[in-house]
Chains A and B, each alone.
Chain A
Amino acid sequence: MPAVQETIDQVRQIDVDQYKYGFETKIEMDKAPKGLSEDIIRFISAKKSEPEWMLEWRLDAYRRWLTMDEPTWARVDYPKIDFNDLHYYAAPKNQTGPKSLDEVDPELLKTYEKLGIPLREQEILAGVEKSKIAVDAVFDSVSVVTTFKAELKKAGVIFMSISEAIREHPDLVKKYLGSVVPTTDNFYATLNSAVFTDGSFVFVPKGVRCPMELSTYFRINEKNTGQFERTLIIAEEGAYVSYLEGCTAPQRDENQLHAAVVELVALDDAEIKYSTVQNWYPGDKEGKGGIYNFVTKRGDCRGKNSKISWTQVETGSAITWKYPSCILRGDGSRGEFYSIAVSNGHQQIDSGTKMIHLGKNTSSRIISKGISAGFSNNTYRGQVSAHRRAENARNFTQCDSLLIGDKCGAHTVPYIEAKNATAQFEHEATTSKISEDQLFYCLQRGIPEEAAIALIVNGFVKEVIQELPMEFAVEAQKLIGISLEGSVG
């Protein structure tokens, strides 16, 4: 099939070193010395003016972490990380929130400009109140700008950086932090618990429908800065919130570790929708550099009829190790996972989800679309389990992989565990290249090869794109385009 050869060539040509978002913003940084010790943790905690209990919590996690081993089960391959060769804290010097645009560091504004943010954050930053998206910009670990706070406050929604929340709402943080991902959970989550520098905190009180989509832009700046975000979202009884997370990162030579933890708690009848577009630096064409993205994301459907939905578009990072999961504890609760994972160059993705059915009449749905090109390896790893009392648990899983080129790999590793006779699990997976029939059909109708491939790939991922909020769908499609430029057009 001629088109595919062409596609392969083009994918090879564009490669990942043309990474569009590769630049670095020169803003003075306030850094902790390299390495990790109890002193560093005390330093971070002091920098953030944290209460004593928080420091203890961190130290406890750190001591636990010292006894843990790095996990090796994922299908990813990377040189050993020297955890003592990282900075665990870096904050922009300008720490107080600006009152007006003039106070915002012009470098920062330029950064947003260069990011080409299609959303209206530029306007928001400029104070133009047209958009309904609140941005809590996490600029290398510390929240710099928080907008729409007032409007959210009116609705009773708390949306702030987690360090602020620790100071202003210690009771809420104390109650929920670590209740979904305990400090003992896994190597990277425990490390995060010890050293997390910032992240977002969202609390939507009983019966409130959050009036806008909440969005955060993560940026990783400065060389060798470990980035440890911590996000905590709580939706009380009957509440609804949609949270968007998007990422771009500067180009650099050395590998960067990113070990975030995201915890979601949904009480009775609450719904949380969490969307991610991830486009961190994937390394150059030799596979050098790039972000290590070792993330623990978990949602707890704690209440009856609660719902948590994860949508992710993963196009960046050298290595991705990420399994957004749902614990379906409440009777009648529902979990969803929609994923597009695109790997090119030497990227390695090992991603998937876990749906743990504990309550009665729980249901879950998994749609995963993997696209591998170049020399990349793309693995779906997922678990669906129904426990003894999970009567009438339902799951539907579909994971499809598309291969572009013969040097890449696509793998599927599902774990399906039923311990209840009334459970109904359906799982299907396919791996193929772009269908010759479909391509022929398009070509025959005068659609050029590249446009035809774009059309087919678009169709392939459509089910997931549809799940993204409008504002993100456009960006997501753009990112997939950049990642697979040449083959997706």
Chain B
Amino acid sequence: MNMQTGKTLSVAEAALCEAYDHAVGDLPGDSAVLIARDGLISDFKAAGLPTRRIEAWHYTDLKALLRSVPDVAPAASADAVAPLVAGSAVLSVANGVAARAASAAGATVRTFAEALADGTAAAGLTARDGDDAIGRLNGAFVRDGFVLDLPEGTEPDAPIELQAVQNGGQTHVRFQAGIGAGVRATVIERHLATGEEAAFATALSELTLADGADVTWVIQQAKGVSDTHLGQIRVRLGTDAQLRLYVVNAGGRLVRQEIHVEVAGEGSDLKLRGINLLGGETHNDVTFTVGHDVPNTTSTEVLRNVVFDRARGVFQGQIRVAPDAQKTDAKMSCNTLLLSDEADFSAKPELEIFADDVQCGHGATVIDIDHTQLFYLMARGIPENKARAMLVNAFVAEIVEELEDEPLVEALEGVIGAWLDKHA
């Protein structure tokens, strides 16, 4: 909504400002990049971390929740792990540094550090608005990542995996992907932890789909139990572009995943599917905005959340329809299984409609496991814990099955199954 007048810095705010002063000397980038970084950090100093008084952070008071920030740990190392889907081309970022000479067939790949060094990345180092803490922090601190281009005519035969593995410390990673006209591709973006140390990460992805591109993009977040992960993806869809965006959160201590989509080309379609598996002490916030800016576009969003233990889940979703975006069809649903009396879930599904010839709707539910279904299974001799696990699994797996990509479906079901085995 507006900037706070934070006079005194919190411990985490002070640590971040200090970390910047230490790091700025050896962060890659030309003078334009440095000016952008300085601008962002000074905005951050002025605004501080967002509190719940900022509407976009209503349920995630970052200032209160983020008590400390680990130091940058340049010595720590992390090893790449096997890709989610066998046979994928892996572009790996280990503790914030991209592997040199990584490649994917047909794609043009550069490290983000190179793009910073020659200044081409400067224009992207921006905050979306005055409340975009993630954009500010990532823009100020970003060290590396990948710039991925799939020009018109490329036909990648395997998924491309963008893998960020972290072992403690701080990392600030950015992925930029430009998908050319008519290109069909599957990209898997993974944020993983290998160590026990508390880690802090910002991750920002910029995805552009040219006319007629057809993309499946999966974001898997599986950080450690004491990690903070602040992620954001900015998407722009061209004419007749199709995007299936799957976001799977199953880890981390303090997680915020922002998804911002501009539906900017007529005939384009967005399918967002989100799975949030929350347990332990996790605070997990998925914040989504979609702007339908042109006529004849569609979007559907389906979120399935499972909340155990003392976890807290948040979903904020906003569908905006611009005055000229007639014939927009947008539907959003957010369903939550709340499985513990100490857990909680808050949802804020918003509609902001300025065109009249539209069909927009949202639905949100918060429920416990259906006792009649449980009874049905138990009556057939299935023990209660197993019956519960089956029902929870069915609740989330349903939306994975929509993907018509068998190896990917199996991989995601594997992720969900493994998590539920541990928590349910």
B366 touches A425 (CB 8 A): yes
Point out the residue from B55, B323, B348, B355 that lies within 8 Å of A416, measured CB to CB: B348
A408 touches B356 (CB 8 A): yes
A73-B55, A406-B326 given; A422·B351 CB < 8 A: no
Closest Cβ of chain B to A452, distance in Å, is 17
Q: Is B361 an interface residue (CB 8 A)?
A: yes
Point out the residue from B326, B343, B353, B355 that lies within 8 Å of A401, measured CB to CB: B353
Point out the residue from A406, A412, A416, A419 that lies within 8 Å of B356, measured CB to CB: A406
B42-76 interface (Cβ within 8 A of A): 55, 58
Q: How far is the CA of A420 from the CA of B341 in the complex (A)?
A: 5
Question: Which stretch from B186-194, B259-267, B332-340 is at the chain A interface?
Answer: B332-340
Q: Which residue of A lies closest to B59 (CB)?
A: A417
Closest 7 pairs between A and B when the two form their complex, measured CB to CB: A403-B356, A419-B344, A430-B361, A412-B351, A418-B366, A427-B364, A425-B366
A409 touches B343 (CB 8 A): no
Q: Is A423 an interface residue (CB 8 A)?
A: yes
Chain B residues with Cβ under 8 A from A411's Cβ?
350-353
B361 touches A433 (CB 8 A): no
Closest Cβ of chain B to A69, distance in Å, is 12
Q: Is B237 an interface residue (CB 8 A)?
A: no
Q: Which residue of B lies closest to A386 (CB)?
A: B366
Query: Which of A407, A414, A416, A417 gathers most chain B CB within 10 Å?
Result: A416
Ordered by A's residue number, 19 sampled pairs between the chains whose C-beta atoms are within 8 Å are: A401-B351, A401-B353, A406-B354, A406-B356, A408-B354, A409-B352, A413-B348, A414-B349, A415-B347, A416-B348, A416-B349, A416-B364, A416-B366, A426-B364, A427-B363, A429-B362, A431-B360, A432-B358, A433-B356
Q: How far is the CA of A433 from the CA of B368 in the complex (A)?
A: 35
A417 touches B367 (CB 8 A): no
B349 touches A424 (CB 8 A): no
Q: Is B346 an interface residue (CB 8 A)?
A: yes
A424 touches B367 (CB 8 A): yes
Closest Cβ of chain B to A271, distance in Å, is 27
Over the window 392-404 of chain A, the binary record of Cβ atoms lying under 8 Å from chain B Cβ atoms (1 yes, 0 no) is 0000000001011
Q: Is B359 an interface residue (CB 8 A)?
A: yes
Chain B residues with Cβ under 8 A from A414's Cβ?
347-350, 364
Point out the residue from A401, A413, A418, A420 that lies within 8 Å of B346, measured CB to CB: A418
A421 touches B353 (CB 8 A): no
Bin chain B's interface residue count.
35 or more
A433 touches B358 (CB 8 A): yes
Chain B residues with Cβ under 8 A from A403's Cβ?
353, 355-356, 358
Q: Is A388 an interface residue (CB 8 A)?
A: yes
Chain A residues with Cβ under 8 A from B352's Cβ?
409, 411
A406-B323, A423-B338 given; A416·B347 CB < 8 A: yes
A406-B356, A432-B359 given; A421·B340 CB < 8 A: yes
Q: Which residue of A lies closest to B324 (CB)?
A: A406
Q: Is A465 an interface residue (CB 8 A)?
A: no
B364 touches A410 (CB 8 A): no
A415 touches B339 (CB 8 A): no
A406-B326, A411-B352, A424-B367 given; A432·B360 CB < 8 A: yes
Point out the residue from B55, B343, B346, B353 that lies within 8 Å of A410, measured CB to CB: B353
A424 touches B362 (CB 8 A): no
Chain A residues with Cβ under 8 A from B55's Cβ?
73
Q: Is B8 an interface residue (CB 8 A)?
A: no
Q: Which residue of A lies closest to B320 (CB)?
A: A411
Q: Which residue of B lies closest to A380 (CB)?
A: B351
Chain B residues with Cβ under 8 A from A418's Cβ?
336, 338, 344-346, 366
Q: Which residue of A lies closest to B53 (CB)?
A: A73
Q: Is A316 an interface residue (CB 8 A)?
A: no
Point out the residue from B349, B353, B356, B358 that lies within 8 Å of A427, measured CB to CB: B349
B353 touches A404 (CB 8 A): no
Q: How far is the CA of A344 from the CA of B347 in the complex (A)?
A: 30
Closest Cβ of chain B to A48, distance in Å, is 38
A409 touches B363 (CB 8 A): no
Q: Is B365 an interface residue (CB 8 A)?
A: yes
Main secondary structure of the interface of A (DSSP, over half): strand
Q: Is A178 an interface residue (CB 8 A)?
A: no
A406-B326, A421-B339 given; A430·B348 CB < 8 A: no
Point out the residue from B353, B355, B363 that lies within 8 Å of A428, measured CB to CB: B363
Q: Is B152 an interface residue (CB 8 A)?
A: no
18 additional contacts (CB under 8 A) given A406-B354, A417-B344, A427-B362: A73-B1, A403-B355, A405-B356, A409-B354, A411-B350, A414-B349, A415-B346, A418-B336, A420-B338, A426-B363, A426-B364, A427-B365, A429-B351, A429-B363, A431-B351, A431-B353, A431-B361, A433-B357
Q: Which residue of B lies closest to A418 (CB)?
A: B366
Chain A residues with Cβ under 8 A from B358's Cβ?
403, 431-433
B366 touches A424 (CB 8 A): yes
Chain A residues with Cβ under 8 A from B353's Cβ?
401, 403, 409-411, 431
Over the window 175-210 of chain A, the binary record of Cβ atoms lying under 8 Å from chain B Cβ atoms (1 yes, 0 no) is 000000000000000000000000000000000000
Chain B residues with Cβ under 8 A from A404's Cβ?
356
Closest Cβ of chain B to A488, distance in Å, is 16
Q: How far is the CA of A402 from the CA of B340 in the complex (A)?
A: 38
Closest Cβ of chain A to B328, distance in Å, is 10
Chain A residues with Cβ under 8 A from B359's Cβ?
430-432
Chain A residues with Cβ under 8 A from B368's Cβ?
421-422, 424
Q: How far is the CA of A423 from the CA of B348 in the complex (A)?
A: 17
Q: How far is the CA of A414 from the CA of B367 in the complex (A)?
A: 17
Closest Cβ of chain A to B26, distance in Å, is 43
Query: Which of A412, A417, A421, A428 gathers most chain B CB within 10 Å?
Result: A421
Q: How far is the CA of A406 from the CA of B326 in the complex (A)?
A: 9
Q: Which residue of A lies closest to B55 (CB)?
A: A73
Q: Which residue of A lies closest to B328 (CB)?
A: A431
Over the window 144-185 of chain A, the binary record of Cβ atoms lying under 8 Å from chain B Cβ atoms (1 yes, 0 no) is 000000000000000000000000000000000000000000
Closest Cβ of chain A to B341, distance in Å, is 5
Q: How far is the CA of A232 from the CA of B247 in the complex (A)?
A: 50
A417-B346, A428-B361 given; A423·B366 CB < 8 A: yes
Closest Cβ of chain B to A1, distance in Å, is 9
Q: Which residue of A lies closest to B348 (CB)?
A: A415
Closest Cβ of chain B to A121, distance in Å, is 39
Chain A residues with Cβ under 8 A from B345's Cβ?
417-418
Over the window 309-344 of chain B, the binary record of Cβ atoms lying under 8 Å from chain A Cβ atoms (1 yes, 0 no) is 000000000000001001000000000101111011
Closest Cβ of chain A to B338, distance in Å, is 5
Q: How far is the CA of A410 from the CA of B1 in the complex (A)?
A: 20
Chain A residues with Cβ under 8 A from B357's Cβ?
406, 433
Chain B residues with Cβ under 8 A from A388's Cβ?
341
Q: How far is the CA of A427 from the CA of B361 in the complex (A)?
A: 11
B338 touches A421 (CB 8 A): yes
Closest Cβ of chain A to B50, distance in Å, is 15
Chain B residues with Cβ under 8 A from A413's Cβ?
348, 350
Chain B residues with Cβ under 8 A from A415's Cβ?
58, 346-348
A220-274 interface (Cβ within 8 A of B): none
Q: How far is the CA of A280 from the CA of B361 in the complex (A)?
A: 31
Closest Cβ of chain A to B220, distance in Å, is 26
Closest Cβ of chain B to A282, distance in Å, is 20
Chain A residues with Cβ under 8 A from B323's Cβ?
406-407
Chain B residues with Cβ under 8 A from A433's Cβ?
356-358
Q: How far is the CA of A416 from the CA of B59 in the complex (A)?
A: 11
Q: Which residue of A lies closest to B318 (CB)?
A: A413
A421-B341, A427-B363, A431-B361 given; A416·B346 CB < 8 A: yes
Q: How far is the CA of A120 from the CA of B147 in the complex (A)?
A: 75
Q: Which residue of B lies closest to A413 (CB)?
A: B350
Q: How far is the CA of A258 from the CA of B343 in the complex (A)?
A: 41
